[in-house]
Amino acid sequence: MQSECEMNPARQWSLLLSVSAAFFSLGTVATVASATAPCDDFGECKVLVEINAEDGDVGFHFLLDGDDLNSGRVIDPNGLKVFEFGNKNALREQKSTEVFSESAEPLCWNDPEADEDEEIVTLEEFLERWTPGTHIFTGMGDGGEKSVGETELTYALPAAPADLDFTGGVISWAPGDDLGQCATSSELEDLVDDGVLPVHPENVPVVAWEAVLEADDGSDLKFSIRVPAAQMSVTVPADFIAALPDDTPAKIEVGALGLDDNATFSEEGDLCLNETSGC
């Protein structure tokens, strides 16, 4: 699952076009969870759920952004430590600022093409594993300076974008009503009725969309942009497409970003850019 948060040390940067736009309105923040920027003593902190509706996987992500940190923790609403880091040697001298991590993303459905030993964690099992509510972030500097902040994990999961299309250089999509492979609309209704989910995903407000056109040839070349909720199509710059090699396999991805940072992504593959002999 590709998103702006993902880190890939093997990325090739010979060509990369990334355009991002954040949109703010009174009482609404487009791309940050409630009370995360600033986050008390930190510049930013957030915890969120990210779902890939197409592949059917789900993960827990978090971000901490502070100054000159040498250690830090994330504590869940039960008072349990879920993450801790401590710098050593050269990194202790250099200090840390932004610390990002994401959990493994197990399948949430029985994919018939998955390996037999592939872990399956249903959406309900995942939500029972993580406790929604206030997560406390702490950090410590070299001289014992302590930083503290808090943010909220919610289960307000936006529905997966639907009807993805790429025609004439334009990525388009529509609002969805489910979480793809992770849960159908009727399954989600049951989770709401049972109190597992606070609200059906189709009723979770989307505050921004993230649209991506990515070369699917291992180069990791991509065009990426965030747009406000009212916009549901994006024109990819012709110069970006023209700069790609002939017969470049590609895919599009669109993410629905909720008010509390939770995100659900949909994908559409099997594209062939600058086609001459076929991909």
Rounded alpha-carbon distances, angstroms, from residue 209 to 37, 98, 158, 177, 179: 20, 24, 11, 15, 16
Rounded to an integer, what distance in angstroms lies between the CA atom of residue 73 and that of residue 88?
16
pTM reported for the whole predicted model: 0.84
3 state SS for 35-103: CCCCECCECEEEEEEEEECCCCEEEEEEEEEEEEECEEEEECCCCCEEEEEECCHHHHHHCEEEEEEEC
Q: Are 69 and 139 in contact (CB under 8 A)?
A: yes
In DSSP terms, which residues pair with 223 in a beta bridge? 17, 213
Q: Which two tokens stand for residue 35?
A: 């009370």
Could you state, in order of their start, the residue ranges of all structural domains in the chain? 17-272
Characterize 215-239 residue by residue with b for buried, 16 or more Cβ atoms within 10 angstroms of its Cβ, and e for exposed. Answer: bbeebbbbbbbbbbbeebebebeee
Q: How far is residue 221's CA from residue 158's CA, in Å, rounded to a whole number?
A: 27
Residues of the chain with pLDDT under 50: 1-35
Q: What CA–CA distance (Å, rounded) separates 194 from 98?
A: 38
Q: Please name the CATH architecture into which domain 17-272 falls.
A: Sandwich (2.60)
Q: Give per-residue burial for 51-85: e unless 16+ CB within 10 Å, then b.
A: bbbbbbbbbbbbbbbbeebbebbbbbeeeeebbeb
Q: Please state, in angstroms and as integers, the Cα–Cα distance from residue 40 to each residue in 34, 143, 265, 272, following that order.
A: 12, 20, 30, 47
Q: Is the peptide bond before 132 cis (omega within 30 degrees of 0)?
A: no
